Structure 1
Protein backbone atom coordinates (compact mmCIF):
# COMPACT_ATOMS: atom_id res chain seq x y z
CA UNK A 1 0.00 0.00 0.00
CA UNK A 2 1.19 3.52 -0.73
CA UNK A 3 2.68 4.77 2.54
CA UNK A 4 1.38 8.31 2.00
CA UNK A 5 -2.19 7.05 1.57
CA UNK A 6 -2.03 4.75 4.58
CA UNK A 7 -1.18 7.71 6.84
CA UNK A 8 -4.16 9.79 5.75
CA UNK A 9 -6.79 10.19 8.40
CA UNK A 10 -10.41 9.92 7.34
CA UNK A 11 -12.13 13.27 7.38
CA UNK A 12 -15.19 13.65 9.55
CA UNK A 13 -18.42 15.24 8.48
CA UNK A 14 -20.74 17.19 10.70
CA UNK A 15 -24.08 18.75 9.96
CA UNK A 16 -25.63 20.79 12.74
CA UNK A 17 -28.13 23.60 13.03
CA UNK A 18 -27.79 26.46 15.46
CA UNK A 19 -29.83 29.58 16.02
CA UNK A 20 -28.10 32.85 15.31
CA UNK A 21 -29.71 35.80 17.01
CA UNK A 22 -33.45 36.02 17.14
CA UNK A 23 -34.15 36.17 13.44
CA UNK A 24 -31.93 33.73 11.57
CA UNK A 25 -30.74 30.13 11.50
CA UNK A 26 -27.23 28.96 10.68
CA UNK A 27 -26.78 25.42 9.41
CA UNK A 28 -23.14 24.50 9.95
CA UNK A 29 -21.36 21.84 7.88
CA UNK A 30 -17.74 20.75 7.63
CA UNK A 31 -15.57 17.99 6.29
CA UNK A 32 -16.55 15.86 3.31
CA UNK A 33 -20.11 16.43 2.12
CA UNK A 34 -21.07 13.40 0.10
CA UNK A 35 -23.91 10.88 -0.22
CA UNK A 36 -23.44 9.85 3.42
CA UNK A 37 -24.23 13.37 4.64
CA UNK A 38 -27.08 14.20 2.24
CA UNK A 39 -29.92 13.01 4.47
CA UNK A 40 -28.53 14.77 7.56
CA UNK A 41 -28.15 18.04 5.68
CA UNK A 42 -31.62 17.67 4.21
CA UNK A 43 -33.05 17.13 7.72
CA UNK A 44 -31.24 20.17 9.13
CA UNK A 45 -32.40 22.37 6.26
CA UNK A 46 -35.98 21.14 6.76
CA UNK A 47 -35.70 22.04 10.46
CA UNK A 48 -34.36 25.46 9.51
CA UNK A 49 -37.27 26.10 7.13
CA UNK A 50 -39.78 24.83 9.69
CA UNK A 51 -38.55 27.45 12.14
CA UNK A 52 -39.66 30.15 9.63
CA UNK A 53 -36.58 32.30 10.25
CA UNK A 54 -36.03 35.63 8.60
CA UNK A 55 -32.83 34.26 7.02
CA UNK A 56 -30.88 31.00 6.62
CA UNK A 57 -27.10 30.82 6.27
CA UNK A 58 -25.22 27.60 5.51
CA UNK A 59 -21.84 27.91 7.23
CA UNK A 60 -19.54 25.82 5.03
CA UNK A 61 -16.12 27.42 5.40
CA UNK A 62 -14.54 24.14 6.55
CA UNK A 63 -15.89 21.91 3.76
CA UNK A 64 -13.18 19.84 2.11
CA UNK A 65 -15.35 18.04 -0.47
CA UNK A 66 -18.80 18.78 -1.89
CA UNK A 67 -20.57 16.23 -4.06
CA UNK A 68 -22.90 17.13 -6.91
CA UNK A 69 -25.77 15.76 -4.82
CA UNK A 70 -25.04 18.20 -1.99
CA UNK A 71 -24.73 21.06 -4.46
CA UNK A 72 -28.12 20.08 -5.92
CA UNK A 73 -29.59 19.96 -2.41
CA UNK A 74 -28.28 23.46 -1.67
CA UNK A 75 -29.64 24.77 -4.98
CA UNK A 76 -33.06 23.29 -4.18
CA UNK A 77 -32.95 24.82 -0.69
CA UNK A 78 -32.06 28.23 -2.15
CA UNK A 79 -34.96 27.91 -4.59
CA UNK A 80 -37.36 26.89 -1.79
CA UNK A 81 -36.13 29.83 0.27
CA UNK A 82 -36.84 32.25 -2.60
CA UNK A 83 -40.34 30.81 -2.95
CA UNK A 84 -40.91 31.17 0.80
CA UNK A 85 -39.44 34.68 0.86
CA UNK A 86 -36.57 33.66 3.16
CA UNK A 87 -33.10 35.01 2.36
CA UNK A 88 -30.65 32.10 1.90
CA UNK A 89 -26.89 32.12 1.39
CA UNK A 90 -23.75 30.04 1.88
CA UNK A 91 -20.59 31.18 3.62
CA UNK A 92 -17.60 29.35 2.19
CA UNK A 93 -14.13 29.91 0.85
CA UNK A 94 -13.82 26.21 0.04
CA UNK A 95 -12.64 25.63 -3.51
CA UNK A 96 -14.60 22.38 -3.61
CA UNK A 97 -17.81 24.39 -3.25
CA UNK A 98 -16.96 27.63 -5.02
CA UNK A 99 -15.41 26.16 -8.15
CA UNK A 100 -18.53 24.33 -9.42
CA UNK A 101 -20.77 27.25 -8.47
CA UNK A 102 -18.61 29.63 -10.51
CA UNK A 103 -17.95 27.28 -13.43
CA UNK A 104 -21.66 26.55 -13.81
CA UNK A 105 -22.66 30.20 -13.39
CA UNK A 106 -24.78 29.50 -10.30
CA UNK A 107 -23.83 32.60 -8.31
CA UNK A 108 -27.34 34.08 -8.54
CA UNK A 109 -29.07 30.77 -7.81
CA UNK A 110 -26.81 30.02 -4.83
CA UNK A 111 -25.50 33.22 -3.23
CA UNK A 112 -22.15 32.77 -1.50
CA UNK A 113 -20.04 34.89 0.84
CA UNK A 114 -16.31 34.30 0.87
CA UNK A 115 -15.50 35.68 4.28
CA UNK A 116 -17.18 35.45 7.65
CA UNK A 117 -17.52 39.21 8.15
CA UNK A 118 -19.55 39.59 4.93
CA UNK A 119 -21.64 36.52 5.79
CA UNK A 120 -22.42 37.77 9.31
CA UNK A 121 -23.25 41.24 8.04
CA UNK A 122 -25.54 39.74 5.38
CA UNK A 123 -27.14 37.48 7.97
CA UNK A 124 -27.80 40.29 10.42
CA UNK A 125 -29.18 42.59 7.72
CA UNK A 126 -31.27 39.90 6.03
CA UNK A 127 -32.58 38.69 9.39
CA UNK A 128 -33.55 42.18 10.40
CA UNK A 129 -35.23 42.96 7.07
CA UNK A 130 -36.62 39.50 6.39
CA UNK A 131 -35.51 39.75 2.76
CA UNK A 132 -32.32 39.79 0.79
CA UNK A 133 -30.48 43.08 1.40
Structure 2
Protein backbone atom coordinates (compact mmCIF):
# COMPACT_ATOMS: atom_id res chain seq x y z
CA UNK A 1 0.00 0.00 0.00
CA UNK A 2 2.94 2.36 -0.52
CA UNK A 3 1.14 3.86 -3.51
CA UNK A 4 -1.45 5.35 -1.17
CA UNK A 5 0.42 8.22 0.44
CA UNK A 6 -0.91 11.59 1.51
CA UNK A 7 -1.26 13.92 -1.45
CA UNK A 8 0.75 17.09 -0.93
CA UNK A 9 -1.35 20.21 -0.68
CA UNK A 10 -0.44 22.88 -3.13
CA UNK A 11 -1.81 26.36 -3.24
CA UNK A 12 -2.94 27.90 -6.50
CA UNK A 13 -0.57 30.82 -5.96
CA UNK A 14 2.32 28.33 -5.76
CA UNK A 15 1.22 26.64 -8.97
CA UNK A 16 0.86 30.04 -10.67
CA UNK A 17 4.30 31.06 -9.41
CA UNK A 18 5.92 27.87 -10.73
CA UNK A 19 4.19 28.10 -14.11
CA UNK A 20 5.08 31.76 -14.66
CA UNK A 21 8.64 31.27 -13.40
CA UNK A 22 9.09 28.31 -15.74
CA UNK A 23 7.78 30.36 -18.67
CA UNK A 24 10.26 33.14 -17.88
CA UNK A 25 13.19 30.73 -17.49
CA UNK A 26 12.25 28.90 -20.70
CA UNK A 27 12.01 32.19 -22.59
CA UNK A 28 8.29 31.84 -23.33
CA UNK A 29 7.90 35.19 -21.57
CA UNK A 30 10.75 37.22 -23.02
CA UNK A 31 12.83 39.74 -21.09
CA UNK A 32 11.03 43.08 -21.14
CA UNK A 33 7.66 41.54 -22.08
CA UNK A 34 4.70 43.20 -20.38
CA UNK A 35 2.57 40.68 -18.48
CA UNK A 36 -1.01 41.17 -17.34
CA UNK A 37 -2.57 39.23 -14.51
CA UNK A 38 -5.86 38.82 -16.37
CA UNK A 39 -4.16 37.39 -19.47
CA UNK A 40 -2.02 34.93 -17.53
CA UNK A 41 -4.91 33.97 -15.26
CA UNK A 42 -6.93 33.04 -18.34
CA UNK A 43 -4.03 31.09 -19.88
CA UNK A 44 -3.48 29.21 -16.62
CA UNK A 45 -7.17 28.60 -15.95
CA UNK A 46 -7.01 30.46 -12.64
CA UNK A 47 -8.56 33.54 -11.11
CA UNK A 48 -6.51 36.72 -10.98
CA UNK A 49 -5.83 36.54 -7.22
CA UNK A 50 -3.28 33.67 -7.26
CA UNK A 51 -1.60 35.20 -10.33
CA UNK A 52 -1.26 38.56 -8.54
CA UNK A 53 0.24 36.76 -5.53
CA UNK A 54 2.66 34.95 -7.86
CA UNK A 55 3.56 38.29 -9.46
CA UNK A 56 4.44 39.67 -6.03
CA UNK A 57 6.81 36.77 -5.32
CA UNK A 58 8.37 37.02 -8.77
CA UNK A 59 8.99 40.75 -8.23
CA UNK A 60 10.68 39.92 -4.91
CA UNK A 61 12.81 37.31 -6.71
CA UNK A 62 13.81 39.79 -9.41
CA UNK A 63 12.16 37.97 -12.32
CA UNK A 64 9.45 40.60 -12.75
CA UNK A 65 9.48 44.33 -12.20
CA UNK A 66 6.43 46.39 -11.52
CA UNK A 67 5.50 50.05 -11.58
CA UNK A 68 2.18 50.45 -9.72
CA UNK A 69 -0.71 51.62 -11.90
CA UNK A 70 1.54 51.36 -14.95
CA UNK A 71 3.02 47.96 -15.88
CA UNK A 72 4.41 44.63 -14.79
CA UNK A 73 7.04 43.15 -17.04
CA UNK A 74 9.65 40.44 -17.21
CA UNK A 75 12.86 41.96 -15.93
CA UNK A 76 15.02 42.93 -18.91
CA UNK A 77 18.43 41.30 -19.20
CA UNK A 78 21.23 43.82 -18.74
CA UNK A 79 24.36 42.59 -20.50
CA UNK A 80 26.73 44.26 -18.00
CA UNK A 81 24.95 42.49 -15.11
CA UNK A 82 25.16 39.14 -16.91
CA UNK A 83 28.86 39.65 -17.64
CA UNK A 84 29.59 40.64 -14.03
CA UNK A 85 27.62 37.71 -12.61
CA UNK A 86 29.35 35.28 -14.98
CA UNK A 87 32.75 36.57 -13.84
CA UNK A 88 31.85 36.06 -10.17
CA UNK A 89 30.44 32.58 -10.79
CA UNK A 90 33.50 31.63 -12.83
CA UNK A 91 35.84 32.74 -10.04
CA UNK A 92 33.83 30.80 -7.46
CA UNK A 93 33.87 27.66 -9.59
CA UNK A 94 37.62 27.94 -10.06
CA UNK A 95 38.21 28.29 -6.32
CA UNK A 96 35.90 25.40 -5.44
CA UNK A 97 37.56 23.19 -8.03
CA UNK A 98 41.05 23.93 -6.71
CA UNK A 99 39.98 23.10 -3.16
CA UNK A 100 37.66 20.15 -3.81
CA UNK A 101 39.34 18.07 -6.53
CA UNK A 102 42.23 16.86 -4.39
CA UNK A 103 39.74 15.68 -1.75
CA UNK A 104 37.32 13.79 -4.03
CA UNK A 105 36.71 10.10 -3.41
CA UNK A 106 35.35 7.49 -5.80
CA UNK A 107 32.01 7.70 -3.97
CA UNK A 108 31.97 11.47 -4.49
CA UNK A 109 32.51 10.97 -8.23
CA UNK A 110 29.69 8.43 -8.40
CA UNK A 111 27.36 10.87 -6.60
CA UNK A 112 28.34 13.67 -8.99
CA UNK A 113 27.77 11.48 -12.05
CA UNK A 114 24.32 10.51 -10.78
CA UNK A 115 23.47 14.17 -10.15
CA UNK A 116 24.61 15.05 -13.68
CA UNK A 117 22.41 12.30 -15.10
CA UNK A 118 19.40 13.59 -13.12
CA UNK A 119 20.14 17.12 -14.30
CA UNK A 120 20.41 16.08 -17.96
CA UNK A 121 17.19 14.07 -17.76
CA UNK A 122 15.34 17.00 -16.20
CA UNK A 123 16.62 19.38 -18.88
CA UNK A 124 15.57 17.00 -21.65
CA UNK A 125 12.10 16.72 -20.05
CA UNK A 126 11.79 20.50 -19.61
CA UNK A 127 11.49 20.02 -15.84
CA UNK A 128 12.87 23.28 -14.42
CA UNK A 129 12.30 22.32 -10.77
CA UNK A 130 13.97 18.95 -11.30
CA UNK A 131 16.94 20.57 -13.03
CA UNK A 132 17.35 23.10 -10.22
CA UNK A 133 17.19 20.33 -7.60
CA UNK A 134 19.73 18.20 -9.46
CA UNK A 135 22.03 21.16 -9.99
TM-score by length of 1: 0.26
Q: More helix by proportion, 1 or 2?
A: 2
Structure of larger gyration radius: 2
Q: More strand by proportion, 1 or 2?
A: 1
- Kindly indicate whether structure 1 or structure 2 has the higher relative contact order, using CA contacts under 8 Å at least 6 residues apart: 1
TM-score by length of 2: 0.25
